[in-house]
Structure 1
Amino acid sequence: MKLLKSALLASVMAMPMAGAALADTPPNALIVAQNIDDIVAIDPAQAYEFTSGELVTNMYDRLVQYDAEDPTVLAAGIASDWQMDAASRTITFTIREDATFHSGNPVTPADVVYSLGRVIKLNLTPAFILAQLGWTPENVDQMVTAEGNVVTVKYEGDFSPAFVLNVLAARPASIVDMKTVMANEVDGDMGNAWLNANAAGSGPFKLDAYRPAQLVRMSAHGDYFKGAPKMDSVIIRHVAESATQELMLESGDIDLARNLTPDQIAGLDASAIKVDTFPQAAVHFLSFNQKTDSLTDPAVWEAARYLVDYKGMTNSIIKGQMEVHQAFWPKGFPGSYDETPFSYDPAKAKAILAEAGIETPIKVELDVINAAPFTDMAQSLQASFADAGISFEILPGTGSQVITKYRERTHEAMLLYWGPDFMDPHSNAKAFAYNSDNSDGSYAATTTWRNAWAVPDELNKKTKMALTESDPAKRLEIYRDLQAEVQKESPIVIMFQAAYQVAMDTNVSGYVNGATSDFVFYRLVDKD
């Protein structure tokens, strides 16, 4: 029998240790165990991590958005409808009248104009997504305007309106409560510091508490325009160890475990715990910083592609959680390139290095997130690369530590993953096949810049050409060509595409985990 008692809820939040008496979670609260230490920021204008994307999606709305009912369909959000005019590069949005922020303030066209302009003016990590539309701090107030109940969005560039809509459905286009944010502005930061500890959205959940690398607690927004969530609250506990997550799930202290290993999944009691598998858009890769002299020869990049034990890992440590995929746009999405020409062949790797005159051993520091399955993958790479004289020293760190180091370009080699910022192949093409300015002072939120890879001009030109191609079929073919070229020669070795497994109590239903972290939805979750 499940009892809603404050003492019980407090004990759940305190994360009881394994061995405690069996304790069911409260019937109106969803308790999740998850590694959330990758979060650097939760302000939608700055949030650029996987877990922060999940939070933003559940606490904020956008003009148009992918939603829980069907994460593959671009649906109405704060805008009830819209009209597109490709000739004048303009989209007009009618703002719905039944949306309210968590503060009780109505969502207005002025909030939309403020929110989109705020991202550009702050110019933090994800601002480049909206800046693609030709928006700058100097012109954004003319490019996004409001009159009555209509917001007019103008853009520069030969983009299809569909591309623009996908950009506006991305995380940084989330609408914030202008009055609340401005009331918490400090020294002209447009509320950035406050929004990294609080939230001011209109989404299905409001933020009650956020303690970095400890806890997120959200409660239902009862006036949500699509209807209140079925759960009164969602509590996400930071539990880095997968073994602890498993024990908590089996003892009834949590409802969902987000980071179990394949072995743990296989060992669960199917009568009490179910496992749902969700195909993901994230690709996992090994990359080499081109500021490290020993890693700049293309022969090292080529040899590396034959030193990954692809099948060995997918048949063991990442079984059910990843599949072999060697191109930057995920399989199953329009424009994907699904050829997998590389397999584990240390003899071939040695021959490639020898022919190029590369002296071994090569010693390389490998940064990795200190959590499953990344540490296991790093150990596999350490063993297989040693076969050709490449010695990895594994440097584990929290998600935020590893990502921060990556952004600063201070790593040597990096084991990481990447998901698209919006559901268009250009999102990953710009990250893996474009870098027009490789200077240290020209920060770009791309794998190419972060690995200090000066992308050849021809690739840069082809990436731009794909973005402006008006013929849909031709455009996708250009993206396939780009993937084939990057697959053949780049310091980024793409290895796998994720498949995400979530273990949960059998009484949980309605959990939705779409292809990216921005498509994790708790609004429809129920507990029978």
Structure 2
Amino acid sequence: MLHVRTLICAILLVLGAPAWAQTPANILMVGMRLDDLVTLDPAEVFEVSGAEIVANLYDRLIDTENGQPKGVLAESWKISPDGRQYIFTLKKNAKFHSGKTVTAQDAAWSFQRAVKLDRGGALILKQLGLTAQNVALRARAENDLTFVLDLDDALSPSLVWNILASYAASVVDSRLGSQVEKDGDFASTWLRMKDGGSGPFRLELWRPGQGVILGRFAPHHQGVPVPERVGIRHIPESSVQRLMLEKGDLDIARNLSPDDMDKLTANPDVTVIRVPQGGLFYIGMNMKVRALADPKVRRALKLLIDYDGIAKNILKGTKAVRQTILAQGFPGALSDTPYKLDIEAAKRLLAEAGYAKGLQLTLDVRNVSPSIDIAQAIAADFAKAGIALEIVQMDNKQLLTRYRARAHMLTLAQWSPDYPDPHATIQGFAWNPDNADGSPYRLLAWRNGWNIPELTGLVQAAKSERDTAKRLSHYEAAQREALRDGPYAVMFQDMQILALRKSVQGLRAGLTPDSMRYADAKKSVAQKSIAK
């Protein structure tokens, strides 16, 4: 009876029932925005909150720790001498939430469904050379415990490990999938709202626009998760999250504004932590525009941004100054910050480029904070050098449509890597094998018209380089080239702000959304209200 009552209380809280004086000791309550949550299918998910929840519902063959593989469903693995075959031996004791034993056939089916569905996860797995035509041969089960992955060409092992550690490589219950499949959809319709995983938590409830409840999967092969349940409540307002944390209705608050973060930082009963993320905030400069094709103009624009001032006065600790195209925390990331606000130096460069009397530019901006505030600060400093900057506000869909069509002059944009490897970002910024308008390769370098055949070759070589030091040296060279002449003014790195009651310990977070794990989170002491 107590078990049922606890579950009912958790559900009522998620759905907005009257608050507890404090959260139960065995339930971890999280407040965050869930407005981007549209699916829980690991082959389809491509949003921040979805990737995080999937990571707690599903296991992968491996995870990574300090760049090295760490077994999850796989007990051991080996690489062939030529680097083109990876063989995994699975654990015998791993179970799906359905009770079925996890087998290599499940891993093979999961890879095949992700690639053949060709949705979010396929973009990541295709980096391994997998296609709808070859995936059944290249990702296969030799027996119940042996999964084999064959590659066309040898790739950097660290790249392979990081791809296999991403949410796209989640292993799904194939027997369950076959039972709920409709019209050859690989169970995608069912899995959008349900759970077919073997992770430390199982899905107990998802009410779109309201919240999610994860229940402990006690038979998990890595041990019993600490929280009996995790309730993740959709709370879009930062101030509401803060008040609920102070009153004891939440254990963890996310998506906090700078003002609410400051108030909680001053509270001795709350711990505020900042976790560097892989995402970057930058200005893309379209080199199809005549003025922006001149490297002197691009350097001038980079000197007309008050990086430190914006970080201090607008972002207030929610982002960190970053000028290279690879976020801090990734192997090989450089920390060079050569650009500071220097109006006179920018004027000289503009004069040398033939724009002594200034020029007119437009900046596409998403119509949300802090993008608008950043754009206004930049426009004010541009004006001091004679650049009339028109700010064009639009929603994110419109901004991305224009950006992907190379219809912009300048775009204030954000970048987040799809998997935790430097190649995911470097390829986006510094790889452009075909700069023609009809190119099928439309990543950031193409969108900004940066024609870089030599640099593209270097980045492509890094993907296959098995010597780690040499591989990272390629990525370092790409960062320096982009910093010097690239069509980007990289400004800030995302920081995930987490406010935790002092009693909460053991929460795991990292560079990517799918590194947030709840299994070891615990409450050390009974909580009290900390509202002031």
TM-score class, shorter: 0.7 to 0.9
Q: How does 1:37-56 map to 2 (within 5 A)?
A: 37-39=35-37, 41-56=39-54
| Whole-angstrom distance in 1 between the partners of 2:309 and 2:335 | 20
Q: Is the 8 A contact 1:294 1:362 kept in 2?
A: no
The one of 486, 491, 497 equivalent to 1:495 is 491
Corresponding residue of 2:23: 25
* Matched-pair contact (CA < 8 Å) for 1:375–1:396: no
Q: What is the one-letter code of the residue matched to 1:56?
A: V
CA distance in 2, matches of 1:296, 1:240: 41
For 1:60, the equivalent position in structure 2 comes to: 58
Instruction: Tell me the distance in 1 between the aligned counterparts of 2:66 and 2:244.
Output: 29
Residue 13 of structure 1 is matched in structure 2 by 14
**Does the CA contact (< 8 Å) of 2:310 and 2:374 recur in 1?**
yes
SS in 2 for 1:338: coil
Cα gap change, 1:88/1:290 in structure 2, threshold over 3 Å: closer, same or farther? Answer: closer
Counterpart code for 1:186: K
Residue of structure 1 equivalent to 2:365 = 366
Counterpart CA distance in 2 for 1:33 and 1:408 is 37
Judged with a 3 Å threshold, the aligned counterparts in structure 2 of structure 1 residues 415 and 246 are, in CA distance, closer, same or farther, namely farther
Q: Say whether the 8 Å CA contact 1:29–1:233 is kept in structure 2.
A: yes
Partner of 2:419: 422
Give the aligned partner of residue 281 of structure 1.
278
Native 8 Å contact 1:438 1:452 kept in 2: no
- Corresponding residue SS for 1:478: helix
Could you tell me whether the CA contact under 8 Å between 1:126 and 1:445 is conserved in 2?
A: no
Matched, 1:250 2:246: yes
The alpha-carbon deviation at position 35 of structure 1 amounts to: 2.2
Within 5 Å, which residues of 2 pair with 1:101-180? 101-148=96-143, 149-180=145-176
Alignment RMSD (CA, Å): 3.0
SS in structure 1 opposite 2:87?
strand
Inter-partner Cα distance in structure 2 for 1:522 and 1:467? 32
Counterpart pick for 2:468 among 466, 472, 480: 472
Q: How far apart, in 2, do the equivalents of 1:107 and 1:279 lie?
A: 34
Q: Which residue does the alignment assign to 1:340? A: 337
Paired residue secondary structure (2:283): strand
Q: Give the AA of the match of 1:520.
A: M
Post-superposition Cα deviations, 1:287-330, rounded to whole Å, max 9, x if no partner, equal 24567777665555333312221111232333433322211222
Identity %: 36
> Which of residues 74, 82, 86 in structure 1 aligns to 2:77?
82
Q: 2:452 maps to which residue?
A: 456
Q: Quote the offset at 1:226 in angstroms.
A: 0.9
Structure 1 stretch displaced more, 290-299 or 102-111: 290-299
Change (3 A) 1:348 1:11: farther
Give the TM-score normalised by structure 2. 0.86
SS in 2 for 1:361: strand
Q: CA 1:267–1:88 in 2, change beyond 3 Å: closer, same or farther?
A: closer
Runs of at least 5 residues in structure 2 that lack an aligned partner in the other structure: 525-532
- Of 209, 218, 221, the residue aligned with 1:222 is 218
CA 1:307–1:323 in 2, change beyond 3 Å: closer, same or farther? same
- For the residue of structure 1 that corresponds to 2:498, the secondary structure is strand
Q: Secondary structure at the match of 1:363?
A: strand
Matched, 1:271 2:268: yes
Secondary structure of the structure 2 residue equivalent to 1:485: helix
Return the offset for 1:235. Answer: 2.0
Judged with a 3 Å threshold, the aligned counterparts in structure 2 of structure 1 residues 71 and 477 are, in CA distance, closer, same or farther, namely closer
Residues 509-518 or 375-384, more deviating: 375-384
Alignment size in residue pairs: 515
Question: Structure 1 residues 425, 21: closer, same or farther in 2, change over 3 A?
Answer: closer
Q: Are positions 1:323 and 2:315 aligned together? A: no
Distance in 2 between residues matched to 1:364 and 1:311, nearest whole Å: 21
**Distance in structure 1 (CA, Å) of the matches to 2:178 and 2:496:** 38
Q: Secondary structure at the match of 1:395?
A: strand
Contact 1:321 1:500 in 2 (8 A): yes
Over residues 382-429 of structure 1, what are the superposed CA-to-partner deviations in whole Å (9 max), with x where a residue is unaligned?
Answer: 44444443435363647x786677667676654343343333322221
Instruction: Say whether the 8 Å CA contact 1:367–1:413 is kept in structure 2.
Output: no
Whether the 8 Å CA contact 1:171–1:421 is kept in 2: the answer is no
Q: Secondary structure at the match of 1:323?
A: strand
TM-score normalised by the chain length of structure 1: 0.87
Structure 1: runs of 5 or more not aligned: none
Task: Summarize the Cα distance change of 1:250–1:188 in structure 2 as closer, same or farther, 3 Å threshold.
Answer: same
- The answer to whether structure 1 residue 349 and structure 2 residue 346 are counterparts is yes
Given that 2:115 and 2:121 are in contact with CA atoms closer than 8 Å, whether structure 1 keeps it comes out as no
Moved more, 477-486 or 355-364: 355-364
Paired residue secondary structure (1:391): strand
Q: Could you tell me how far apart the structure 2 residues matched to 1:378 and 1:454 are?
A: 23
Say which is worse superposed, 56-65 or 286-295, in terms of deviation: 286-295
* Match status 1:504 vs 2:500: yes
Which residue of the other structure, out of 164, 185, 191, is the alignment partner of 1:189? Answer: 185
Query: Where does residue 100 of structure 1 map in the other structure?
Result: 95
